[in-house]
Structure 1
Amino acid sequence: MEPIRGDQVVPLHFFEDSLLVQGNNMAVSLVFDAVLDPERLRESLEGLVKQEGWQRLGGRLRKNTSGKIEWHIPAKFSAERPAISFAHVDHAIPAASHPAASQIPKSQDRPCVVGDPDDLEGLAWEPGLRVNNFTDKTVVVLQWQHVAFDALGMQYVVEGWSSMLWGKAAEVLIPCGLDSDPFHSLAQGSRPTTEEHVLTDRRVGLAGLLPWGLGSGVDMLVRAKENRMVYIPETYWRPQWEKAVEELRTEAIANGEDASKVFLTENDVLTAWILRCVVGEMGMNPERTVAASIAMSLRKSFEDDLLPASAEHPYVGNAFGWANVLVTAGDVVPKPLSWLARQVRRAINEQGTRAQHEAYYAMVRTSGLSCLGMVAWPKSAFPIGRKLACSIWTFPRLARV
């Protein structure tokens, strides 16, 4: 498609030009126990997109004559070409009387399944910003295409939006410039790696990937899909976290090590807990390998190298890598939760360095499977096929490396 006169045309970057993010719509829902002004929400988000460095978020995705997707960013936003898509629905009833809003999960005092996210789609799936007003609540849904930004990028967007909403436009940081791809050298391998990936000897090639892909494909076609939301209150996970830390500190003292260096995040413990819940119910062979793939942001690892400091110019785009935890099914349930949480933390610490990320993507390039997109990349670092019991992806709020 020919660009409109004056539009800035920007190609997709390395992390955007993949099957994992293209065509993948994301949505985050914010529920407020108050009736908010939809116009203020719209105006503040539009104001953010119009701020210096944020205009790409108002761009349009178009294919060029070669079939490649590009960003087409209007030189000036207008009513005909707005910065954001916006929809407002005033339901004029209490949320409890609405078929979808009444299904919004409520706080519980124990871990439990709290519903099916598909029950809420009547509130969510509207391009851009959708504001649902009820007489006692407001449900604000922000929808975007994954090519725009990842989970941490969303955090920067929400923070900037909040600043605009409170009249603090001067506090909004100018994002890292995206006219050029900061991860181009990582994608092309123009920087030599300094070490091998720690899981190099566990990688598989095409011969291992094909059986796994065929098995997963058949499973996706045949087995009915079910989505559920799980609620884990702090009153449950915090004691689990405190116990795990205390156990590891006691072990460190017994081994003559510095107990003050013991560190776990709540995500480490939650990931371990989820692994235990899943594996414990499957009754699998104790020798079978279990793999958990943890998504990590690359921002901190490449700060002051490929990226500027996030505190000055945040990277509002896609920049993610993976840490893969490999354990056997026989170790997941019998051993203490602290042991399993430490395996999660160790994987993040070992595989989350700049050198390991570079080694990982070098491994992808030489695998000959990069044409499949990033869907195959997390799998290239651990055994698959009959030896893979399950794969759990989590997104740590705190990935200290």
Structure 2
Amino acid sequence: MSLLSTFDQKRPAIVPTDRIIPLRYWDDLDYLRSICHAFTFRFDDALDVTKLETALLRLMEIGDWGQIGARLRLNNHGKLEYHIPACYDETRPAFISTTTTYDTSIKDHPLGSQMPKAGQDQYFLSPSSDFFTSIVCHPDSPRELADWIYTDRPQLHIHDILFQDATLLTINYLHTFADAISRTNFDAWIAVLRGQKEEVPAFVPYDHDPQCTLSKEAPRQSYSNLGRLLNGLSLVIFGLRYMFEILWVQNLEEHPIRLPGRCVDRMRKTVLQELSVTAPKGAKMPFMSEGDIVVAWWVRTMTKALKPAPDRTIMVMNVFNV
């Protein structure tokens, strides 16, 4: 979006009947505003899109689940707010749904045939997610914060791609709406689809912040990596080196890596066996998740390939549930 077009856009007028709730502190971070997710579920069967939409509408009638249809607004202080409609209708829907139909098998589609699928029991590098954008996203799918705050668009845009033997379900949303962990709550949608409303978990309303005390209770000195924090001259040097890397290395490619479950299971079994041999007698075995195993494997693979100096500090970032 050009700078000129940004200035030309106006925020929608406030609807008097909307309930306005400020975003929680940890939901309105700058980097969350800058990331728009397009998450695609693949089903190797032809699904009934009408049933999916009906189930999602019914979910939004349970408890506070209807709040996910809120509109994002930027207030005069530069903070994001939720504007929750008093009711949803055709003029202000709870979510946007679009559909593209292909009268062919997904195997015959030039892009669809290259998408990863369940049951592929081998290690490989998938094409970049951007490679599939033209097939999994609708031309009107949101792609940045401006697509929400300068429109009356609900938070969710669901695009259904129907083949004769497969269905791709892409959900577009801003990162302020959900992360990788909260995406598992789409199980609530499935529970309604199965007719098991009793399995729908309670939705934490937007005006309640379970993490409001996060980072306020623990003293700064208790942070184990306090001595590694960048500040002063070290921070300046890091910034200069980071800028140099951005300017020098521009042709970066993103490739998801598929690691078969049998490989992870085998590595985890090996690790547990090694720990059982070295652990003191009677000691409790440490918990080793699949994520622990994959991260350890990846770090070892990278260090073998890049051969960093033995005293080089390596930072590993991972996603976890707070």
TM, length-normalised to structure 2: 0.84
Q: Which moved more, 1:273-282 or 1:175-184?
A: 175-184
Matched, 1:212 2:238: yes
- What do the CA deviations read for 1:199-246 (whole angstroms, capped 9, x no partner)? 122222143233223322332343212011211101212111101110
What is the correspondence of 1:234-313 to structure 2 with a 5 Å cutoff? 234-252=261-279, 256-258=280-282, 260-298=284-322
Q: CA deviation at 1:87?
A: 0.8
Q: Which moved more, 1:5-14 or 1:111-120?
A: 111-120
CA contact (8 A) 1:12 1:71 kept: yes
Matched, 1:116 2:116: no
Question: 2: distance between equivalents of 1:184 and 1:168?
Answer: 32
Structure 2 counterpart of 1:203, from 229, 233, 239? 229
Question: 1: distance between equivalents of 2:288 and 2:198?
Answer: 36
Secondary structure at the counterpart of residue 184 of structure 2: helix
Question: 2: distance between equivalents of 1:217 and 1:164?
Answer: 49
Structure 2 counterpart of 1:137, from 153, 166, 175? 166
Unpaired stretches in structure 2, ≥5 consecutive residues:
1-10, 143-156
TM, length-normalised to structure 1: 0.68
Structure scoring higher RCO (CA < 8 A, sep ≥ 6) equals 2
Paired amino acid for 2:203: P
- What do the CA deviations read for 1:143-179 (whole angstroms, capped 9, x no partner)? 21111122221111x1111011112234322212321
- What do the CA deviations read for 1:241-282 (whole angstroms, capped 9, x no partner)? 101110011011xxx333542321121111001111112111
CA contact (8 A) 1:245 1:263 kept: no
Matched, 1:9 2:20: yes
Matched, 1:67 2:95: no
Secondary structure at the counterpart of residue 314 of structure 2: strand
Q: CA deviation at 1:78?
A: 0.8
Unpaired stretches in structure 1, ≥5 consecutive residues:
299-401
What is the correspondence of 1:73-152 to structure 2 with a 5 Å cutoff? 73-106=84-117, 107-125=119-137, 126-127=141-142, 128-152=157-181
Question: 1: distance between equivalents of 2:61 and 2:229?
Answer: 45
Question: 2: distance between equivalents of 1:12 and 1:267?
Answer: 30
Equivalent in the alignment of 1:394: none
Which runs of structure 1 show a deviation greater than 4 angstroms over 4 or more consecutive aligned residues? none
What is the correspondence of 1:302-341 to structure 2 with a 5 Å cutoff? none
Q: Which moved more, 1:43-52 or 1:71-80?
A: 43-52
Question: 2: distance between equivalents of 1:133 and 1:192?
Answer: 50
| Structural RMSD (CA) | 2.0
Equivalent pairs counted in the alignment come to: 292
Q: Percent identity?
A: 25
Paired amino acid for 1:155: T
